[in-house]
Amino acid sequence: MSEQAPAGFRCAVLGDPIEHSLSPVLHPAAYGATGLEWTYDARCVPEGGLADFLATLDDSWRGLSLTMPLKREVVPLLDEASDDVRRAGAANTVVIADRRRSGHNTDIPGAAAAIRERTDAELTRALVLGGGATATSVGLALAGMGVRHVDVAVRSAARAQQTLEALADVVEAEAVDLATASPAGADIVVSTIPASAQVADLVAQCAQAPVVFEVVYDPWPTPLARAASEAGRVLVGGLDLLVHQAALQFELFTGLTAPLEEMRAAGEEALARRSAS
């Protein structure tokens, strides 16, 4: 990466809800560590509102981070899309330059980096809870790591259709019922569902999974994360994913090498404050 970047650009994370996002903690921490005088904030943009928001942006804007429900909504609004965006049908990153919008998906390499940071276990079969854009990206990351079968657990098979279609070219995937999902034979369970949906029966069903990847970081720990931690199983946390994907976003926005440890420390401190309040 280049070690120079223009001064004064604006960036933000968009989504709905957005108050929980730690991105406005991680990115400014990276700016401070690299001496950038950029700004980064959070903007609530509801489903269906992204096109109108993008139309308001001027030349001071350089990058956008996207969370639910905008990762798929943004794709037809892009001028350019990376291979990972085309594979996933979803983008969590938009780089704005010369009035053009370039879409990227840092969730895929970010998920792979987060998993490998915590375990080097061989992974061949996975159970993914939830069928949204994040489930798609993590499924693609797992396929790239050697997983050959993914069960996507959802309340309705129709909810997983886009995810199954995205995974079909690289892995064997099928929809299963969330209420009866079992990780039997799975090397890793990935949860992309809210903590409120992690009922006791579901947590018990996943009790034998050797590796748990909980993409939610607030509230923390979730029921699934707590159970995995108490049982001494490998736990990959939502902050792990957030930090790695945000570091890649920072590099795309700025052209600088991301200060990963400074970003991680800022995120850990912010979560500790939330837990204490």
- Three-state secondary-structure class, residue 11: strand
At residue 176, what are phi and psi to the nearest 5 degrees? Answer: -130, 165
Asked if residues 140 and 162 have their Cβ atoms less than 8 Å apart, the reply is no
**Could you give the residue numbers annotated as active site?**
71
| Amino acid sitting at position 150 | V
CB atoms within 10 A of CB 236: 23
Q: Which helix (H) or strand (E) is 40 found in, with range?
A: strand 39-44
CA 160 from chain centre, in angstroms, equals: 17
CB 2 within 8 A of CB 256: yes
User: Please, are residues 103 and 116 in contact by the beta-carbon 8 Å criterion?
Assistant: no
* Separation in Å, CA 5 to CA 10, 101, 149: 13, 18, 42
